[in-house]
Structure 1
Amino acid sequence: MLSYNSLSLYLQVVINLTLLTGLILLVRNGIKTMEVIMLFLSGEFALELTDLVDRLLKLNTLNTYNYALSQFLGLVMLTEIYSRYFLKVPAFVKWIIYGYAMIFLVINIMDIYHRAPVTFYSNIISSIIICSFAAAYCVKILQKGKVEKSLFIVNTFVFLFFLLNA
């Protein structure tokens, strides 16, 4: 049976391939209005690739900081992406999410040695928030009856990525 570390390494490879595929699709299709999405995908890809290299080199301390930063940036950037391109997220909801992300960034960085429960819950809550955005966009599509192909593809990739990540 595979150990947690080897399963985590395989998952990291799958996540990197998913992010790289999404980035290639966005660049290849020439979506010029979604610079924020391209920035997010390239940034998350860089962080996840660094995480993979850190795991391979067994640099656990750097990996801990990288994970907390990746989680923070992912939640903030996806909130902004969904607010700008997919849904009209109210300002007070965005600020609640930004505050949550900042609080858990500080907690995850400060609590390195006893971080398992805190990181687990912050990861699950962040994934629930992002998957809720994706689900709300799908409901919006069902209500309107029309879909923009590129936004639907990006939404599907985001939903699957964070479903796997949780």
Structure 2
Amino acid sequence: MVGNPDFLTDTGQDQAPELQELESPEGELHLRFYVPSGMEFALPATGIKEVLEPSPNQITPIPNASPLLLGTINMRGRVIWVGDLGQFLGEPIPVNTDRSEIPVIAIEDQDTMLGLAVERIVDMDWLDVEQLQMAMNVPDTMAPFLKGEWLLDPESNQFLRLLDQVAILRAARWAA
């Protein structure tokens, strides 16, 4: 490259290919994931501290804690409670802990942090919050923790539901 005479001089500069304009994403960045029942949810990336995949033996069970809580994990010296998000939302199927790693989404608001164990993490997506609709036909146990939903497929009636991480963190249900 340095041996190329055009590298050191201005010759050939006018022959440079036209720069392509980068496409800017629309909407806001969200993490998409599934709970054990197969329902798909999203959380705003701004409320997520970290995504972890601890092995089940890294989650320390705590006696006499809420059945919604799997236990605690140590994240770089900070102890974090890990809860089963699906069961918290009223789903009957618990997260599968009989596997090598459990996907955990660490959410944070102010100084409070909580790990949410989920079945499977899909990916990060730019979602248009202006297309968000009011959540319809959701169980009463889930409704207080939803900001709304996007209709993904009208034929199969498939929805992507947006969770409110602050409402989940502040819920008294974790202490029950």
TM range (shorter): under 0.3
Bigger Cα Rg: 2
Question: Which has more helix, going by share of residues?
Answer: 1
Using CA pairs under 8 Å that are at least 6 residues apart, name the structure with larger relative contact order, 1 or 2.
Answer: 2
Question: Which has more strand, going by share of residues?
Answer: 2
Normalised by the length of structure 2, the TM-score is 0.25
Normalised by the length of structure 1, the TM-score is 0.26
